[in-house]
Structure 1
Amino acid sequence: MNNLSESSVFKDIRGKLNKLRLDEKGLLALFEAVSNSIHSIQDNGIKGTIKIEIEKGYEIFQDGNSENIPYVKNIKIIDNGIGFNEANFNAFLHNDTTFKEARGGKGVGRFTWLKVFESAFIDSVYNVDGVTNRRTFNFRAMQKPITNHTIEVLQESSEPVTIIHLLNLQENYQKKFPHDLRNLTYLIIEHNIQYLIGNSLPDIFIYEKEKEHNQISVLEFFNNEVIINHFKDNFSLKEKDKDIIFDIDFIKQKKQSNKAHHYIYYTAHDRVVTNTDLSDLISDFKIPFKDENNNEFNLSAIISSDFLNENVNEERNAFSIPIKRRHKDQLSTNEIFLDDVEEQITLKAKEYLKPYIDEIRKKRIETLTELTNSKFIGYKPLLKYPEYLDEINVNQNDNAIEIELYKVKNKIRLEAKTKLNNLITKDYSKIENLDDYKKEISEAISKYGTIGQTDLVNYIIHRKVIINILDKALYQQSDGKFALEELIHNIVFPMRTTSEDVEYEQQNLWLIDEKLSFHRYLASDIYLNKRSRPDILIDIPTIWIDKDRQPYQNIVLIEFKKPNRDDYNYSENGDPFLELQKAINELKSGKAKEKGRTIEVDNDCRFFCYIIADITSTLKKVVVDTHNFRPTADRLGYYYFHDTLKAYFEIVPYSKLLQDAQDRNRVLFEKLNLPENINGEF
């Protein structure tokens, strides 16, 4: 029996376990047991072998089909290392032993066993001065953690062998702990990758209980199914004016799934501690690469350094290294930040895989060129700045690509605007080189102008979409009827709203006249009083008028009629000319109100009235002929000027409205060199 009091050495073991922070899978318990076996074999001075036996359970979880789902129940780790001799057992008994400090041991690995499993049983055969001993004991999260401790002297000599039984996986880990042997093998490789590339990992075999004949060799799996080749590199960073060296092992590895799996693995004392997805740092790494034979591969970057060894936490699952600088231009060399390390790794990774990245970027530009020539015309000017397009992943659906193009556009806009503001507000007396300053100004203006061009192109295409919608609305519907005037009205401007309710982008008054878009007040389908309600009332400002105050001096009234309507009559409600005159009189008399507030009209206010309607026989008879309307210059509509009311009236047929809008927009297409076959339906 050991001379130490096993119950007194462990202090507050449950408190110790509560402080441990592990990942949701609980894999660290297995990794720590394997790590102990590796160290034990190294101490025995042999190549050694480790066996991992997985015993599964099938009684806990059931899916909707009532089929049993397997989970890991017990794990047995067997090695032929030096074993639990007195020195190793004494170290095992101490809470925070420094026995393995030189190897980076934190003295907490065995506690992860009890965090993840209910208990452990240790059975170890070891040799001391030619005598073979066998030590067994139970290890539990109890007031007396070590129980049933026995030491037996074996009569016959035997080779060392230690078996760690990790028993009864805790329920909160059963759903997450991997039970597929190939997956477990890959995870063991991932955690011990530095041992593997250094050719210092013992032979490890993993198998399911009673199926040892189907065992997987970790080394063979690594050589045959993971690694292609590897390349060493390094970089240095300053800490307190001292060069800190970081070693990199780049591993080209075979693709394990359809997804990219490019990772940085940060290690401490030959074991992986954390990892970072390279695709989060370099957009070109969002897909697997293809080699010269068109075989896909992934890249892993294994990072090691004394700096990492010194800054790993107790659980060995994180580093006590600050993440990023508060300011990117902070140049202090007193401290190393994780983003400094990542920046150097990404530079090295790009350099290492430059031929493959160049090919990816070439294909990206080809894809974006094709898309901006067809679907996303408005973003075509962004092709001038390929360095920004590196952030775009083109291996996704078109909608996702458009969102990324939008983000790039806004990023360039913000950078250019910030640059311009800084240059414009710069103290001219501090400008050392005027030519360089002018060049910077010119470049910033050019970049900002390019983004303005994308906005303009998108707006022109948006206009074509609206024109197409209007065109379809004017056709006879499948039921033989024509669209109601409400539909046309809402296309031009939402009904029962005012300019205070509607954003500029939601109105399409340019369909009627470009000037109408620059109104200072608008009421759409709002009653002026209980009887009078023009479709749209607009105040048009002029350059000599205070644009913020009434009375109004220019007002536009618009009346929509149902396409192809042919039932006009001589009543006030059947004659749109009389309807508009009535609205004008209400406005001039001061009786018109909007939201309870009187609409003030100047005595000399000019009115511009549009009747948007197809010229059918009754319209021509009731309005055109009766009120002496005259043909417009293009002979497509009619106009009339009322001297007393100072009002101009114009009848605009839907065909003319549509044709004029198309013609105006076509000029813009030609000026921007946009292809005419864009139909705006995307």
Structure 2
Amino acid sequence: MSNVNIKRAVENIRANTTVYTPVVEMIVNAIQAIDEAGRKDGKVQVRTQRNAQVELDGSLPEVTGFDIEDNGIGFNDAHRNSFDTLYTDLKIAEGGKGFGRFTGLKYFEDLHVKSIYRDGAVLKARSFSMGKEHEIIVREKVTPSDKQDTGTVVTLAPLKTGRAFDKKLSTIARSLVERLLPYFITQDYVCPDIVLSEQDGSSAIRLNDFVSNELSAVIREIGIDRKTFTLKASDTEEEFLVRVFKLYSPRNQKSRISLVAHKREVSGSAIHKYIPEFVDEFLEKDRNGEVDSTRNYIIKAYVFGPYLDRNVSLERGGFEFQMDSDLILGIGQTQIEQDAATIAREAMGADITFRQEKKKERVQSYVDEEAPWHKAILEKIDLSGMPYNPSNEEIETRLQKEKFAQEIAIKRDVAKLMAETNFENVQDSVIEIVNKISGTSKNDLIHYIALRRKILDIFGKSLETDESGTYSSEGVVHDIIFPRKGDTDITSFHDHNLWIVDERLNFTTYVSSDLPLNGGNTDRPDLLVYNKRVLFRGDNEASNPITIFEFKKPQRDDFVNPSSREDPVQQIVRYVNDIRDGKYKTPEGRKILVAENTPFYGYIVCDLTAKVETWLEREKNFTPMPDRLGWFQWMGNINLYVEVISWDKVLKDAKMRSQIFFQKLGI
């Protein structure tokens, strides 16, 4: 008689068990019963129960339970009493925890036992059910039997609501074989026949054939040179054995490491967690070395060892040691899986090397075409942890992470160097640190130059007509150079491209774009969308020049008409005179400092149509530049130098200034 809170015991079963766990438990118990009987003709018959209701679509009915029958020793008194004892130690030598039967009630409503056993010279029949409250064995009956042999039938049924099995026998068979594989592959051990079938015995599948039958096998072992590895535990060293298998037609499964305890698969992880190249399936090759696209497979690396046997959890759904480093037992699961993954990688040799080279080429292509500033980093980075088929975002993230790590290391080295009082102790390190700094600086410079190339491509495109022959809207070109309605308090140095017009703009203190020079609405000309000014200057000192820009839409030339109020030359002259007269202040409210000799520069950017050139030559008295892509004039009375340059010249000059860098980078 037992007194156990069975409901509580079942509720405390860990979540990493599955619907297959109790079925595997019963099959293993059947195997052990056959082994104990010493039979050479041992057989385990697993019969599937299905829902009696026929599916409307003609598919197979749902699986609702299983009958697991064996011709083993049967439930004699010793086995019966063991079943009635929580945490029994009857099968401790075989790794029994005395708890596995409780997983049956986690996934099935009932567990029934019918058994024939030998009691002295006679055979007896024992039947009982597993209780759900305090008694483990309920409704027990023992009667004389007229059977000729011993054996047991364990029934798990019906399946609890919300649980489900695969419908196809072949799929169920695959799942069982993968979990029971250690029984089929253990050296010097012959596993009894295990047969899965429908309830009436039809559609029988012999699970042993998945491994032993060379013609129909879906699981094959890979011969490897190194099968063992050793890890240091708290007070000793533990040895582990690894056997690597191909699993063909794996559906949506991934290559996996499986940790085994007492011939049963317990837990594990996907191999690509450690070696990304295992994330995809592999394809078998024929005798001629040609790829057979119909013969796909994954890898399963089974790990065995006394350390695993000793530390398997109560429900065999996991282990007592930690996932990472274990301070008490000394070895964590990650350590075991990492070494097993290395052996799996060795087993797959050329296939993994090919994939790693392919990944390296993918990353190299990204750097060459999209991010040449990372070339120096790519020479040193370890790509082993990068996903097998990385996206551009994943590559960039990994390279940026490496760049950041290098910068942190340099800062640490520099800080250590600066703290050293004896220069003789650090002079050997100086050159190395300087080279590291130079390398990261070149990375940033290459990034900046490559970005310039992209911006110039976009800028050139904005100067072209679209399919309808229309030029870009008036704000597009302006915004590429400098966003409208803004200044350098809003738009930082990194977010504008004033260098397209003049490199000096990168070093100014303040830039105002499309804003009244004195705030509010004071002295703001009636400007159209594209007719905007840009004013820039260095430090607010009288000796520093002040530069004003006027942008005109490509191909626009109506501002030269006598009736136009948008004469850009006159606008610049008016701005200069207003600034000289002290009408405008800095953003901090200080007067803009000018003197009689403060130089002013004015730039008008527009398309030099014939109409504009005639206007400049005949009415404005401008002089053409040698390339005829610009005109200039010096107004000595107000210290103003004015240039009228074409959009083509702006683009051409910007490209010319950067061309040598583009050539050096091969972009």
- TM-score normalised to structure 2 length: 0.85
Spell out the pairing of 1:454-603 with structure 2 (5 A cutoff).
454-528=443-517, 529-530=520-521, 531-532=523-524, 535-541=532-538, 545=539, 553-568=544-559, 569-570=561-562, 573-588=565-580, 591-592=583-584, 598=589, 600-603=591-594
Instruction: Indicate conservation of the 8 Å contact 1:114/1:140, yes or no.
Output: no
Spell out the pairing of 1:324-403 with structure 2 (5 A cutoff).
324-325=324-325, 335-369=330-364, 372-374=367-369, 377-385=372-380, 388-393=382-387, 396=389, 400-403=390-393
Percent identity over paired residues:
25
Q: 1:27 aligns with which of 20, 30, 51?
A: 20
- In structure 2, list runs of 5 or more residues that go unmatched: 526-530
Shift of 1:98: 2.7
**CA distance in structure 2 between the partners assigned to 1:77 and 1:552 by the alignment:** 98
Q: Which residue of 1 aligns with 2:229?
A: 235
Classify 1:512/1:310 alpha carbon distance in 2 versus 1 (closer, same or farther; 3 Å): same
Q: 2:609 aligns with which of 606, 610, 616?
A: 616
Q: Which residue of 2 aligns with 1:109?
A: 100
Classify 1:653/1:144 alpha carbon distance in 2 versus 1 (closer, same or farther; 3 Å): same
Q: Which residue of 1 aligns with 2:161?
A: 171
Classify 1:393/1:21 alpha carbon distance in 2 versus 1 (closer, same or farther; 3 Å): closer
Whether 2:182 is the aligned partner of 1:194: answer yes
Instruction: Indicate conservation of the 8 Å contact 2:630/2:645, yes or no.
Output: yes
**CA distance in structure 1 between the partners assigned to 2:488 and 2:142 by the alignment:** 91
Shift of 1:252: 3.4
Shift of 1:343: 3.7
Instruction: Indicate conservation of the 8 Å contact 1:392/1:401, yes or no.
Output: no
Letter in 2 for 1:167: A
- In structure 1, list runs of 5 or more residues that go unmatched: 327-331, 676-682
Q: Which residue of 1 aligns with 2:112?
A: 121
Instruction: Indicate conservation of the 8 Å contact 1:260/1:287, yes or no.
Output: no
Residues 258-314 of structure 1: per-residue CA shift (max 9 Å, x gap):
778322111222211111111110133333456773556543222222222222222
**CA distance in structure 2 between the partners assigned to 1:432 and 1:304 by the alignment:** 55
Shift of 1:340: 3.0
Residues 87-130 of structure 1: per-residue CA shift (max 9 Å, x gap):
12212222332332332222221111111111122222222223
SS of equivalent to 1:235: strand
Q: Which residue of 2 aligns with 1:130?
A: 121
Instruction: Indicate conservation of the 8 Å contact 1:566/1:619, yes or no.
Output: yes
Letter in 1 for 2:343: K
Instruction: Indicate conservation of the 8 Å contact 1:50/1:203, yes or no.
Output: yes
Spell out the pairing of 1:241-260 with structure 2 (5 A cutoff).
241-249=235-243, 251-257=244-250
SS of equivalent to 1:579: helix
**CA distance in structure 1 between the partners assigned to 2:119 and 2:282 by the alignment:** 54
Shift of 1:483: 1.9
Residues 436-491 of structure 1: per-residue CA shift (max 9 Å, x gap):
757xx63x665665555454444433323322222222222333332222111112
Instruction: Indicate conservation of the 8 Å contact 1:252/1:297, yes or no.
Output: no
> Which segment is superposed worse, 416-425 or 298-307?
416-425
Instruction: Indicate conservation of the 8 Å contact 2:516/2:524, yes or no.
Output: yes
Shift of 1:662: 2.4
Classify 1:587/1:139 alpha carbon distance in 2 versus 1 (closer, same or farther; 3 Å): farther
Letter in 1 for 2:210: F
Q: 2:83 aligns with which of 74, 92, 96?
A: 92
Letter in 2 for 1:300: K
Classify 1:46/1:493 alpha carbon distance in 2 versus 1 (closer, same or farther; 3 Å): farther
Q: Stretches of 4+ moved more than 6 A in 1?
A: 58-62, 66-69, 429-436, 549-552
**CA distance in structure 1 between the partners assigned to 2:320 and 2:424 by the alignment:** 44
> Which segment is superposed worse, 134-143 or 31-40?
134-143
SS of equivalent to 2:208: helix
Instruction: Indicate conservation of the 8 Å contact 1:234/1:247, yes or no.
Output: yes
Letter in 2 for 1:239: A
Instruction: Indicate conservation of the 8 Å contact 2:543/2:599, yes or no.
Output: no
Whether 2:46 is the aligned partner of 1:52: answer yes
Q: Which residue of 1 aligns with 2:528?
A: none
Classify 1:357/1:144 alpha carbon distance in 2 versus 1 (closer, same or farther; 3 Å): closer
Residues 615-645 of structure 1: per-residue CA shift (max 9 Å, x gap):
2344345556433333235431122344454
**CA distance in structure 1 between the partners assigned to 2:552 and 2:443 by the alignment:** 36
- TM-score normalised to structure 1 length: 0.83
Equivalences, count: 639
Instruction: Indicate conservation of the 8 Å contact 1:413/1:448, yes or no.
Output: no
